[in-house]
Chain A
Amino acid sequence: MGDGATRRGFLVRGFAGIATLALAGCDSISQQPWLDPLLRSAEALTKRVQRLFAGDHALAQEFTKADIAPMFRANGTLDPGTQEYREHAQKNFADWRITVGGLVEHPLSLSMDQLRKLPARTQITRHDCVEGWSCIGEWTGAQMAHILALAQPKEQARYVVFYCADPMSDSDGDGINDSDFYYESLDMVEATHPQTLLAYGLNGQDLDIAHGAPVRVRAERQLGYKQPKYVKDIVLVDSLEKIGGGKGGYWEDQGYNWWGGI
């Protein structure tokens, strides 16, 4: 009798031990320095294959007005909250300027009025958040391709970096974010895609603060974090290495993939 109980005890302890080892194994594997680069090695392949099929110009699906979500969810920063941004908001962004610089022949500084006079596009598209949800909205804005054509990118320009007005960190601990401003990047293919816009309108109205006023990026073949809000400065570069944490965007520096097509 005692024999059986001991065996049972051994089995129970054995299984508990194996379970603990397996769990500890998962945790310790997750901390191995070789793991991250190994897992990340799939990203280049994924990007290459997706681009192979999507090409440079395949358009994201466009929907009808009937499909527009009654409440388009706002995510990430809902209000940049800085003194500077508030003053712009009070003046209805009349003095907001978007600069285009870096590796371009003709640096630009555009007022909102000038931006609105550029060739515009209105598109009803599906916004896909990296978290998993989707919302359909009608976006109006200037085509990025046209803005870049005005600035004339130099030959060595490979990426378009967007610097934004929303701070992501709170440096002095007062509960208000004041540093670590959001930034993102697209490559030239995605930036010059016909549906890539500097958007200033959502569902027929001026873009509101929660959705990125006065102007945000729409890159319809990419996830939401690749479409920064509160855009101020646009810089063309040949490498992402020396910008921010070197990964090409705020969330990329936190571990997210640069390729946001999946």
Chain B
Amino acid sequence: MTIASEPANDHASRGAWAWIANFLKYGANSDPDDPKTWFFRHPLFVRITHWTNVIVLTVMLMSGLQIFNAHSALYWGNQSDFDHPLLSMTAQQNDDGSLKGVTQIGHWQFDTTGWLGASQVNGQWAVRGFPAWATIPGPQWLALGRLWHFFFAWLFVANGVIFASLAIYSGHFRRDLKPKASDITGLPTEIAHHAKLQFPKGEAAKSYNGIQRLTYFTVIFIIAPLIVLTGLTMSPTLDAAFPVLPWIFGGRQSARTIHFLCAFSFLLFFIVHIVMVVLSGTWNNIRSMITGNYEIEQTGGRHG
């Protein structure tokens, strides 16, 4: 078949590609005909610490899952009540000898074969909490997972301290990240705008919106310190140095559980963050986090 025999189809497909190109560049509510102006959005320290954090957090999450796999259960309190975990990933043997992965949360049991409890490593079925593709290193190897985790933990803290110091010193925190009372009262409106994919344009696009401020503040200034402190609480030496640590979190095993919840809060944030980056203009957003420069549509006027 030749292209010339279907001119209408070709035209439609070209229109679709133009729409996709514009969507990838400027996002879901972009008007290609709108004039755009450049706006310097991200200072150098934000860009460097952002991409450092991408690498560091990825390694922390995946090596953390490797460490979790050494004992794939969570508890509350000082110690492990092995018969009553809050969450556990185990494997059962089926009648035919194959493995069934079982994830238990409280009283609820789920069949998670292939994902959690039992999954394949290099074609072989293995009893393991999280699957090999999610852990560093892939095979069960606690010692190496700990080496990765405790090396990158220093980088995570250093990167976080550098970011927070410069953010406060430069005014980035006060100007862009510190939530305002109106961010909370305006939350329903803001959620509605996000749900309708109406992202800010013009002047409003020059600052973070309420949802962004609340989210970034929570992730950077609440969850990040929490994951560090609960991580430190798992160290018996630091518990001796700072008995207040296990006291605050209700015990070492509680701290381990909170650490795990924080890690998955990061993962949830990461997923939503990527979705929002794509919906509001993949290329424009990524470019602004590399060069600092962001293109803003002038009119639009649908929001802000």
Contact = CB atoms under 8 A, between A and B. Distances in A.
Report if A and B associate in a common complex.
yes
A55 B13 CA distance: 70
Interface string A118-148: 0000000010111111111000000000000
A53 interface: yes
A132 B68 contact: yes
A134 B240 contact: no
B147 A257 contact: yes
B234 A262 contact: yes
B94 interface: no
Interface residues on B, range: 35 or more
Interface residues of A, number: 52
A53 B241 contact: yes
Contacts of B240: 54, 58-61, 220-221
A51 B241 CA distance: 9
Contact of B79 (A30, A69, A131): A69
A63 B1 CA distance: 81
A169 B139 CA distance: 22
Interface string A240-254: 000000000001001
A129 B71 contact: yes
B152 to A, nearest CB: 9
Interface of B: 1, 3, 6, 9, 13, 67-68, 70-71, 73, 75, 78-80, 82, 133, 136-138, 141-144, 146-148, 150-151, 153-154, 234-243, 246, 252-253, 256
Interface of A: 1-4, 23, 26-27, 30, 36, 38-43, 45-46, 50-51, 53-55, 58-61, 63, 67, 69, 71, 73, 126, 128-136, 220-223, 251, 254-257, 261-262
22 contacts: A1-B9, A23-B133, A30-B144, A41-B151, A42-B147, A46-B150, A51-B237, A53-B238, A53-B241, A55-B241, A60-B236, A61-B240, A128-B252, A130-B70, A132-B68, A132-B234, A134-B79, A134-B80, A134-B252, A222-B237, A256-B146, A262-B150
When A and B form their complex, which 8 residue pairs have the shortest distance between CB atoms, in order from nearest?
A261-B237, A255-B143, A54-B241, A132-B71, A39-B147, A133-B80, A53-B241, A131-B71
